Structure 1
């Protein structure tokens, strides 16, 4: 099982020559960084920015479904088993998404 931890405040180092597993993980990080309405020609893709001022518990429940749908649609080589959140930085309003799952065989 693989755990992917996405923190929007960290910069990412993109690789152009990568293994299949690294490519899938990078694709999932990209999926989690998209904001709905900001993807040209695919405005329906992305996470909901309108939830930014909602209570954290509500956001986490709502976002879990969105995260699973986005990954299932755009990265079918990965099977999501669990979506959780790191709540250690609640005081600064940062949402860290953790996705656990498996990379499917070709």
Structure 2
């Protein structure tokens, strides 16, 4: 099993027909962690809850970790989550990084 790190701050062009199953899986995880709940018209539960925006940093990290874990488990069960970490920007934004095994 190989491990990959997905960073929600990085943007990649979306491929409607990824070359490999691995590329499809990694793109799916990237999409999950970079989408806010409520923004997908036919699936309002898809993505991560943005209501943590005004919470203290440590509380927001705990809630986001749970949200990320649950969302990936539900929408992309082909991966195993190895680690969820965060970096903070100077503006106070939390950027999740997820390590997954495929």
Same-fold call, TM cutoff 0.5: yes
Distance, in Å, in 1 between the alignment partners of 2:19 and 2:94 is: 28
Distance, in Å, in 2 between the alignment partners of 1:25 and 1:19 is: 10
Distance, in Å, in 2 between the alignment partners of 1:25 and 1:14 is: 11
1:1-106 matches, within 5 Å, as 1-7=3-9, 10-15=10-15, 16-87=17-88, 89=89, 91-103=90-102
Runs of 4+ more than 3 Å apart: none
Over aligned residues, Cα RMSD in angstroms?
Answer: 1.4
Distance, in Å, in 2 between the alignment partners of 1:31 and 1:64 is: 13
* Structure 1 residues 43 and 94, CA gap change in structure 2 (3 angstroms): same
Deviation per CA, 1:3-33: give whole Å up to 9, x if none: 11111xx432223342111111100011112
Distance, in Å, in 2 between the alignment partners of 1:72 and 1:40 is: 21
Shift of 1:83: 0.6
Distance, in Å, in 2 between the alignment partners of 1:42 and 1:13 is: 22
Structure 1 stretches lacking a partner, 5+ long: none
Shift of 1:78: 0.6
Structure 2 stretches lacking a partner, 5+ long: none
TM (normalized to structure 2)?
0.86
